[in-house]
Amino acid sequence: MKVSEVARRAGVTASAVRFYEAEGVLPEPPRTAAGYREYVEADLCRLRVLVSLRSLGIDLHEAGRLASTCADGRCDDMATDLLPRLQARRAEVASARAELDHLDAELARVERALRSGAGAFNMCDEDGVSDDPADDGATRAGAAGRCDPAGGCCGPV
């Protein structure tokens, strides 16, 4: 099968297949007399494994190595090698999720401050935004840290 068909069946573009070959994570297939790449079902299987591993966030070259291991008939070895990598990816995802949760909480806090119109939003402060709607920022910021239209964000310099 030609590159367009193997790509379609694997759910990627033909340029992605060529990229994987150029990066050395897929071997170049033999070519026809006309110069077209000629893929077989085993190539498709290897490509599907590679694409699946990449969709899990596995590094390109690591995914290529693992796909090669499986293509060599050692899929059990690939699974053994993959387990610790999956655990590491899950830890990365948990960390990213915690960072995103923190960011979402900060965004919500700033949004509440801006919507309240009580002047509780002040990025010059140590804390940035007060959770107390009665706080106009002056208590925490002091004269130099209060946003002052005449003197700039943090007052006169």
**Does 99 lie in the same domain as 66?**
yes
pLDDT score, position 123: 67
Q: For residues 128 and 152, state if they share a domain.
A: yes
Non-local CB neighbours of 144 within 8 Å, separated by 6+ positions: 154, 155
Of 83, 69, 75, 5, which is closest to residue 38 (Cα–Cα)? Answer: 5
Counting the structural domains of the chain, the total is 2
Q: Give 111-147 pLDDT, tens digit per residue.
A: 988 888 755 556 676 655 555 555 544 444 444 445 5
Task: Report yes or no on whether pTM surpasses 0.85.
Answer: no
85: Cβ contacts below 8 Å, ≥ 6 apart: 58, 62
Residues 97 and 25 in one domain: yes
Q: Which residues pair with 148 in a beta bridge?
A: 152
Q: Do both 111 and 136 map to the same domain?
A: no
Cβ atoms of 90 and 78 closer than 8 Å: no
CATH number at 38 reads 1.10.1660.10
CA distances from 68 to 24, 28, 71, 88 (A): 11, 13, 5, 21
62 & 13 share domain: yes
Q: What is the pLDDT of residue 149?
A: 56
- Checking if the pLDDT of 155 tops 60, the result is no
Q: Are residues 25 and 87 in the same domain?
A: yes
Residues 34 and 74 in one domain: yes
Same-domain status, 30 and 82: yes
As a whole number, mean pLDDT of residues 77-98 equals 96
What pLDDT sits at residue 157? 42
**Domain boundaries, position 50:** 3-116
The yes-or-no verdict on residue 73 having pLDDT over 50 is yes
List pLDDT tens digits, range 13-48.
Answer: 999 999 999 999 999 999 999 999 999 999 999 999
pLDDT attached to residue 142:
43
Q: Residues 11, 82: one domain? A: yes
pLDDT in tens, 76-86: 999 999 999 99
Q: What is the pLDDT of residue 102?
A: 97
d(CA 115, CA 106): 14
